[in-house]
């Protein structure tokens, strides 16, 4: 069990450091910033690289919603769900702490601001409502779980699952960054919310509830199709 939890810790650490780090450090740099497109690919690349690196150890979840979806889909034992969640959240918090240390060394540092957190209303990148945030997080997470279950099924081509999953996460970010800054991952949302300024902690509940509900729906959709 310990190697699995270590893999989930480091995988989630890399996801938050790479994805949120790209948003905080590189997205808005004048003339050379990577923008939302670059951040979308950064999140996808973190999952793709770590799925190949440690997926054979832990399954490569790096996300409490994914773990729940895989459990409901019959791919993951319920007895390991809470330990995985703990490892994932701790990994996300550790990465956010490292990112905070980096950001605090910037010239004229006066605070981290929103710190790549997720939000709705005034905390949404484009001001979308709570309802919009709830819907998009549920739908995006449901499709993410369907893609994961499909790409890792016995009938899928072997060795390509991390590519499909990483590109799916990239697509999800391309769609939903303007709405919520894209969560689909409660651990990712929690890690940066602990260090951010603004309403991130007060709104964090949505970025646990919606991805977990979406993951359950995605797993049920996959089971209804009956292809495993």
158-195: pLDDT as tens digits: 889 999 999 999 999 999 999 999 999 999 999 999 99
What is the homologous superfamily of the domain 1-225 according to CATH?
Answer: Glycerol uptake facilitator protein. (1.20.1080.10)
pLDDT, one tens digit per residue, over 187-199 is 999 999 999 999 9
Phi, psi of 172 (to 5 degrees): -55, -45
pLDDT, one tens digit per residue, over 98-148 is 999 999 999 988 889 899 999 999 999 999 999 999 999 999 999 999 999
85's tokens? 């969640």
Cβ count within 10 A of residue 79: 9
**What is the C-alpha separation between 67 and 62, in angstroms, rounded?**
8
pLDDT (0 to 100) of residue 206 = 98
Closest residue by Cα to residue 142 from 168, 118, 120 = 168
Full-prediction pTM beyond 0.75? yes
Closest residue by Cα to residue 61 from 170, 145, 158, 150 = 145
Domain parsing of the chain, residue ranges? 1-225
DSSP calls for 7-48:
HHHHHHHHHIIIIIHIIIIITT-TTT--HHHHHHHHHHHHHH
């Amino acid at each position: 069990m310990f190697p699995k939890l270590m893999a989930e810790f480091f995988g989630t650490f890399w996801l938050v450091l790479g994805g949120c780090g790209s948003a905080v450090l590189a997205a808005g740099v004048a003339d050379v910033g990577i923008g939302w497109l670059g951040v979308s690919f950064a999140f996808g690349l973190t999952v793709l690289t770590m799925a190949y690196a440690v997926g054979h150890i832990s399954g490569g979840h790096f996300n409490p919603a994914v773990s729940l979806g895989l459990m409901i889909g019959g791919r993951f034992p319920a007895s390991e769900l809470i330990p995985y969640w703990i490892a994932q959240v701790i990994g996300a918090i550790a990465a956010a702490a490292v990112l905070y240390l980096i950001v605090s060394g910037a010239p004229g540092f006066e605070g981290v601001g929103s710190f790549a957190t997720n939000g709705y209303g005034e905390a949404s990148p484009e001001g979308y409502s709570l309802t919009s945030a709830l819907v998009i997080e549920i739908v995006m997470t449901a499709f993410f779980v369907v893609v994961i279950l499909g790409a890792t099924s016995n009938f899928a081509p072997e060795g390509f699952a991390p590519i499909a999953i990483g590109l799916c996460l990239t697509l999800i970010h391309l769609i939903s960054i303007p709405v919520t800054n894209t969560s689909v991952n409660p651990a990712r949302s929690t890690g940066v919310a602990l260090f951010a300024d603004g309403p991130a902690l007060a709104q964090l509940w949505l970025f646990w509830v919606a991805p977990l509900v979406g993951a359950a729906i995605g797993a049920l959709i996959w089971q209804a199709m009956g292809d495993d």
